[in-house]
């Protein structure tokens, strides 16, 4: 009986071992844990600081690569470092909650692995990664330059975007103060070839390309799927209305209509249009726009169908002013091309 019991127990153990072996053979790999790739250890990398990159590039090439001087970079970092840190911690808390819920389901509590390369990524490095990415840098080059992973290079851009969106100083809002509007008009006058002294901003439209939205996404946006197709450019997108100053700084932005909409209709759906109708601008000041908009007491457009004479001269100098907004919209399109196409129907954040 003892021998029979031993044989039976051995058979059961062998069957259990064989069953576990088959499971392990068909399993694609060990469970993924935070900071690892299917259980593999992270690749060792040598962290580099922004100071190291600045010393290697020098002031001239640093400005070309990051679109600002090193001094301006330090000032910007002082403004955003707390917001970047909060965005990183927010992401870690979400990951920790997700891991905790998974561990409870599997009844196998685990602890987070230590940071693979010894120290966390500095907020200045995350800001530099975002600026270089927005300037057209490849994430593969960025990760090699700063000794971080490809994921961290991409996420750094989103951390900086979240910090910017939550910083009151960087809210996009057209100034309501008349003195500020007159200062903008004086800056336009200094830049204009003919000395326009009543321009308080230039407005233009931009088609932001996106993927064809699903029926559910279209219903959430309140528009039909066909409304996102721009037949003139043969692209699916969103009509973006933007106002800028003489330096190309975006003063107002609105994205509330699909690509099939005209600039005039999309502009009249914005919050800025309602404010202009209520007398936002100081007396005598106007926005400059092309013939896609209606000529009103707050928006100056070119003369239509003119090819000679003083009106044609006006159209020429008018196009100089409006060309600044075109240049700003082009830079904005380059920036948006770095983000995944989605359905961002939005208005400028309310600072209040």
Three-class secondary structure of residue 301 per DSSP: coil
CB atoms within 10 A of CB 343: 18
Per residue in 327-339, pLDDT tens?
A: 555 455 544 554 4
pLDDT of 117 reads 60
pLDDT of 41 reads 66
pLDDT per residue as tens, the chain (352 positions): 444 444 444 444 445 545 554 444 444 444 444 444 555 666 778 889 999 999 999 999 999 999 999 999 999 999 999 999 999 998 888 777 765 555 444 444 444 455 556 678 999 999 999 999 988 899 999 999 999 999 999 999 999 999 998 998 888 889 999 999 999 999 888 887 787 889 999 898 888 888 888 888 888 888 888 889 998 889 999 998 989 888 888 889 898 889 999 999 999 999 999 999 999 999 999 999 988 999 999 999 999 888 888 888 888 888 877 666 555 554 555 445 544 444 444 444 444 4
Smallest Cα–Cα separation from 79: which of 217, 8, 171, 153? 171
Percent helix, strand and coil across the chain, each to the nearest 5: 50, 10, 35
pLDDT of 345 reads 45
pLDDT of 340 reads 47
pLDDT of 283 reads 94
Question: Are 174 and 281 in contact, with CB atoms under 8 Å apart?
Answer: no
Going 121 to 126 to 129 to 132, the CA torsion angle's sign is: negative
Per residue in 223-271, pLDDT tens?
A: 888 889 998 889 999 998 989 888 888 889 898 889 999 999 999 999 9
pLDDT of 142 reads 95
pLDDT of 146 reads 94
Q: Tell me the domain boundaries of the chain.
A: 50-170, 178-347
């Amino acid at each position: 009986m003892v021998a029979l019991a031993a044989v039976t127990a051995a058979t059961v153990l062998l069957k259990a071992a064989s069953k576990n072996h088959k499971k392990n053979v068909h399993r694609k790999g060990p469970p993924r844990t935070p900071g690892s790739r299917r259980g593999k250890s992270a690749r060792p990398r040598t962290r580099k600081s922004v100071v190291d990159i600045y010393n290697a590039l020098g002031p001239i090439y640093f400005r070309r690569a990051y679109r600002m001087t090193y001094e301006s970079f330090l000032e910007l970092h002082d403004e955003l470092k707390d917001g970047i840190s909060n965005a990183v911690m927010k992401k870690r808390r979400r990951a920790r909650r997700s891991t905790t819920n998974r561990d409870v389901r599997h009844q196998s509590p685990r602890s987070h692995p230590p940071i693979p390369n010894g120290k966390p990524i500095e907020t200045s490095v995350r800001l530099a990664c975002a600026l270089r990415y927005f300037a057209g840098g490849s994430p593969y080059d960025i990760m090699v330059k700063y000794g971080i992973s490809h994921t961290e290079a991409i996420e750094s851009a989103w951390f900086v975007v979240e910090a910017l969106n939550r910083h009151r100083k960087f809210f996009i809002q057209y100034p309501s103060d008349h003195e500020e509007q007159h200062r903008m008009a004086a800056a336009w006058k200094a830049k204009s070839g003919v000395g326009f002294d009543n321009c308080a901003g230039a407005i233009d439209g931009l088609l932001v390309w996106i993927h064809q939205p699903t029926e559910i996404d279209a219903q959430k946006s309140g528009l039909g799927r066909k409304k996102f197709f721009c037949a003139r450019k043969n692209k699916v997108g969103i009509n973006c209305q933007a106002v800028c100053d003489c330096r190309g700084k975006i003063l107002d932005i609105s994205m509330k209509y699909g690509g099939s909409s005209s600039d005039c209709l999309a502009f009249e759906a914005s919050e800025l249009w309602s404010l202009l109708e209520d007398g936002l601008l100081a007396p005598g000041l106007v926005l400059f726009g092309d013939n896609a908009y209606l000529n009103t007491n707050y928006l100056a457009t070119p003369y239509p169908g003119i090819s000679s004479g003083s009106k044609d001269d006006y159209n020429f100098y008018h196009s100089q002013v409006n060309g600044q907004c075109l240049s700003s919209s082009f830079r904005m399109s380059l920036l948006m091309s770095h983000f995944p196409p989605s359905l961002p129907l939005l208005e400028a954040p309310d600072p209040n």
